[in-house]
Each structure stands twice: as structure tokens, then as C-alpha cells.
Amino acid sequence: MGEVISGFITIWLVIGVGWTLAHFNVFDERAQITMSRLSFFVGSPALLFSMLSTTDLRRLFAETLTVSVIAVAGSLAVWVVLARTVLKLDAGATVIGGFGSCYVNAANLGLPIATYVLHDASWMAPILLVQVSILQPVGLSLLDSLAARDRGLPPSWSRYATMPLRNPMTIGTLLGLLVNLLGVQMPAVITDPIKLLGALAVPTMLIAFGISLRRGPLPGRGPGLAPSLVASGLKLVGQPLIAWAVGRALGLPPATEFAIVVVAGLPAAQNIFVNAVRYQRAVVLARDVVFLTTVASIPSIMIIAALVAH
């Protein structure tokens, strides 16, 4: 567990760099937006391509994929109902909060936890597939649609249907899966630059997140505390509980059940904040959910691990 805590410390140190740079006026809100766009358009697509082009597809399509789909769908469904009927959020905030309620930090937190706690990084593959091939394209298409409506563009079903194919992260995902399925062996002259660009994704999104913590209202003090708490609760408690119940109902082996519950209990991913900045929708909500779940996930994952292990 020490390695997991070390992973959290690393993340917060990088976030601290962004906060410090903003504090001393080296970076401002414009730099935050620039870094978020760099991650959205360049770093994240390259990272997704690199990961999915080499991952073990056998793990992707195992029973754990079914559990991941149901856990994500269950947490998301509860959020949508509460967001529209109780919290009275608009469509944009509902989409961003929906990401926060079920989109796990599968890269910079998920991989070290899978490696050091579950002893197999490929446990992250099923949830990663659900997120990047289903949840992300659908959510970003909805945000694209809202942006088009705000610009006064007429409705176009063909435009909406092709939006996932024009989103850089979806393109990176689909190309990575295609290369993997076809067994294409790409030369280093192509893969090395892609990996180098993919390395931009995590530090740029973390630094942008740190800038937002310094330049914006403190987490919990901005508008909309209730939505942040609801989305965070669903992410850290609701999603792992659903994964545990489904895994138990399917009769999965204890080790598999343990793995899927720990993965479901990971905090919300930083790219939720990147998406919120990119589309200028519920930025404070996204930032607060990422902050709250990342801080609270340290004890929550330890509690989940202890409970499920017994």
C-alpha cells in the first residue's frame, strides 16, 4: 500500500506545481485553458492510442467488462435522476457531473494501484474500454451538441452521429483498438513520437488543475456544493457497491471480485476537468469532484480493500 500512497503524493506534488506557478503569477487562467486544450487535443489522444494499441484484449472482453458496464451505468443512472429532479441542474452540468459520478482515474492512479495492489496492470483494461469507447464518446457528443446549439447551429442528426469520429480522444481510442485488433506492428519512428506526446497528457492536466485551485474559489466554497458531494459519493461509494453486488451475483472468484471493486472505487479522472474547461460547462463542479474524490479515495480504497478481502 505504500506504493499507492506514493502515487497519490506524486500527483499532488504536480498539482502543487500548478498552484505555485499561479500563486506567483507565472501562469493565469489563460495558461490553464491552454494546458487543458493541449491535453485534450494532443496528449490524451496520443496516450489513449498508445495504451489501447498494446493492451491485452482478452482481459478487455472478459466477465469483468460486464461488471464494469453495469457499475458505470448504475452510478450514472442514479446521478442523472438526482441531477434533473432534485438538484435541478442544466444539461451541461448534468453531463459533467455524470462523468464525475462514474469516470475513474484509470491512467495516472489506476495503473499504479493495479500494479502494486492487484499485481496486474491489465485489470484496468475493462474499465478503460468502457470509458473510452462508450462513456467518453457519448458524453463528449452531448457536450458538442450543446455547444453547437449555443452557437445557433441548426440540429443535424448526421452531424451529431459523426461527432465521436471528430473528437480527438475518440479518434485516438478507435485507432488504438484498430491497430491492436489487426495486430499491426508499427515502427519505433512512429510509436516513439506518439508515446512522447502521450506523456504530455497527465502533467498538463494536473498543472491546469493546480492553477484552477489557486485562481478559482476553494473546493466546497464555490456554487453548487450539493452536486459535488452527490457526484463524489456516487463515485467513491455507489459505483464500488454496485460492482461488488454484480460480481457477487455472477459468482466471480474472490480475487476477481476484489480487483473490480477496487478499480470501481478509484477517484474521478482529471480529464473530466479538462473536458469541462474545453466546453466551458460546470468547471467548478468538475474541479471539486476531482479534488474531493482524489483526497477521499486514499482512505476509501483502503477501506474497500479491507472489507472485500474479508
Residue 164 pLDDT class (50, 70, 90 cuts):
low
pLDDT value of position 182: 93
Is residue 304 over pLDDT 90?
no
Please report where in the chains the cell 472478459 appears, as a residue: 62
Q: Please indicate whether residue 245 or residue 29 has the higher confidence score (pLDDT).
A: 245
What DSSP character marks residue 247? H
pLDDT value of position 111: 63
| 3-state secondary structure (DSSP) of residue 298 | helix
**Residue 104's beta-bridge partner residues?**
268
CB contact at 8 A, 258 and 117: no
**Residue 268's beta-bridge partner residues?**
104
| 3-state secondary structure (DSSP) of residue 104 | strand
pLDDT tens sequence across 42-92? 988 898 888 888 877 776 667 788 998 999 999 999 999 999 999 999 999
Cut 0.95: pTM above it: no
CA nearest to 87, candidates 233, 209, 294 = 233
pLDDT value of position 159: 60
Provide, rounded to the nearest whole percent, the portion of the chain with pLDDT above 70.
85
Q: Please indicate whether residue 170 or residue 47 has the higher confidence score (pLDDT).
A: 47
Is residue 1 over pLDDT 60?
no
Query: Of 4-8, 73-77, 219-223, which gets the smallest average pLDDT?
Result: 219-223
Domain range enclosing 176 = 2-309
pLDDT value of position 25: 92
Query: Of 131-145, 185-199, 208-222, 271-285, which gets the smallest average pLDDT?
Result: 208-222
pLDDT value of position 51: 81
CB contact at 8 A, 121 and 115: yes
Number of domains present in the structure of the chain: 1
**CATH number for the domain including 160?**
1.20.1530.20
Residue 15 pLDDT class (50, 70, 90 cuts):
confident
pLDDT tens sequence across 251-265? 888 888 888 898 999
Residue 201 pLDDT class (50, 70, 90 cuts):
confident
Q: What is the chain's mean pLDDT, rounded?
A: 84
Q: What are phi and psi of 184, to 5 degrees?
A: -70, 130
Distance CA 196, CA 47 (A): 9
pLDDT value of position 107: 64
Is residue 38 over pLDDT 60?
yes
**Residue 167's beta-bridge partner residues?**
none
Query: Of 53-57, 100-104, 239-243, 285-289, which gets the smallest average pLDDT?
Result: 53-57
Distance CA 205, CA 80 (A): 26
